[in-house]
Structure 1
């Protein structure tokens, strides 16, 4: 029996996982070209799946996270289970 691959919009994942607190802000960050999925620039409407690696530029910092699970909704204390921070890098001017 084939396992169904669950996908979710990038902006929704960022909000539910609380990597970015608001969906409108997640959309802005994505549409400014500050997020990539597996090394490819992503828009807010790009679909993500378990195992994808996100790279998000927050000001002078780049956060790289791996998606562990996708959920339609989650409690605040469970949100960090949806991803693993692989590394954080400071970006020089």
Structure 2
């Protein structure tokens, strides 16, 4: 499954266009390598996503084409969530 579709279906990022923008800006790494929106993801991959002030590390546990809202979190396991302090 494409990275941008996985992010949308798993509801990590709400819209696929936003998921595409985030990944194409180099803010997502899969297994330590920078990923684009078209990168294929598979079960067992570890992903790091840099949001504005938060970094999320997760492992992909399951891939499905469609899911219900309450089942979306079964698709991944959060390994680490780090808040980044902004200096003004």
Q: Which segments of structure 1 move beyond 3 Å, counting only runs of 4 or more?
A: none
Gaps of 5+ in 2: none
Asked if 1:80 is matched to 2:78, the reply is no
- Match for residue 58 of structure 1? 51
- Structure 1: how far apart are the matches of 2:77 and 2:56? 10
Deviation at 1:90, TM superposition (A): 1.8
d(CA) in 2 for partners of 1:85, 1:49:
16
Is residue 18 of structure 2 the alignment partner of residue 25 of structure 1?
yes
TM-score (norm 2): 0.95
Which structure dedicates a bigger proportion of its chain to strand? 1
SS at match of 2:41: strand
Q: Which residue of 2 aligns with 1:38?
A: 31
Counting matched residue pairs gives: 86
RMSD: 0.7
Structure 1 unaligned regions, length at least 5: 1-7
